[in-house]
Structures are given as structure tokens and as C-alpha cells.
Amino acid sequence: MRFWKLLYFDEGEFAADDNQDGEWNRGAYLVTALAHCGECHTPRNIAGGLDRDLWMAGTEDGPEGDAAPNITPAPATGIGWSVDQLTFFLKKGTKPDWEEADGVMGEAIADSYEFLTEEDIRAIARYINTLPAIENHIGG
């Protein structure tokens, strides 16, 4: 399947952060090792690696030509969603404004995130919710 190949081409490394609790670290681990949010939501540098300075800040040049939005909590250009809103979105594909997830994001939810446990989705949402805010305008 095209989708899984896309998700598994770049195995990340994971080091637990002692300043955070277990749920947060579980979310950070799941995002890196399994959910691969960064593979789509982080732009690439010239060498083709993920640009860590723009971690989850979105890219115009995402998978299959889709732009992937900035999902950091940046007030102007990111998302300002609560942990509950993120959890609901990753489980059901519905955004706080009632729009549905599109394209490869919709596929990611329907093919995999939807099958994670509530605890794991919530852990992912906690981690995403605490990402450093990076202003990076995507689209338009």
C-alpha cells in the first residue's frame, strides 16, 4: 500500500523527556515511531530530511502535492485546538468547525489513527497540543 510505504520510510529516534509525564512521553513516542505526523506536517531540507527547525509547522509541498497545514499552536498561522478537539479529530476526522479531514489526512485517520485506543489518541493530542508554536503561513 502506497500509504504505508510513505509512513515507514523514515524511522525516527526517540528519547523520553524527564520534564514531562508518562502520557506526554507516550504521545511523543507514538507520533515519532508510529503515527509519523511529522513526515507530512514538517517541511524537508535540501538533503530531503525533515527540517527540525520547522517541526510540524506545515509545508506547501506535502505528500501527493497536498499542502499539509501548520499544526503547531502558533496563534496566527497554526491551530489553536484543545486536547479534546484534537482527540476528536484524530478519531472521527471532524474538525472543530465541522469540516471533514481531506485527502491523505482523511486516509491516515480512516486507515490507522481511528484504530488506536482512546488513551493513545489522547496522548498524541497532548503532545501535539504542547508543540513549540512556530509561525509559518501555509496556503494562499
Binding mask 5-24 for ligand HEC (x = CB under 6 A): -x------------------
- For residue 15, the SS3 value is coil
Which of 138, 140, 117 is CA-nearest to residue 41?
Answer: 138
**CB-facing half-sphere around the CA of 1: CA atoms within 13 A:** 9
Q: Is 102 in the site for ligand HEC (CB under 6 A)?
A: yes
- For residue 68, the SS3 value is strand
Q: In terms of CB distance, is 54 or 104 closer to ligand HEC?
A: 104
Place of cell 493530542: 125
Binding mask 43-82 for ligand HEC (x = CB under 6 A): -------------------xx--x-xx-x-------x---
What DSSP letter does each residue of 72-121 carry, written as one string? S--TTTS----HHHHHHHHHH-B-TTSPBP-HHHHHHHHHTGGGS-HHHH
Binding mask 119-138 for ligand HEC (x = CB under 6 A): -----x---x----------
Q: Which of these ranges, 15-23, 38-46, 47-55, 129-137, lies near ligand HEC under the rule CB under 6 A?
A: 38-46
Residue numbers at the binding site for ligand HEC (CB under 6 A)? 6, 31, 35-37, 39-41, 62-63, 66, 68-69, 71, 79, 89-90, 95, 101-105, 108, 113, 124, 128
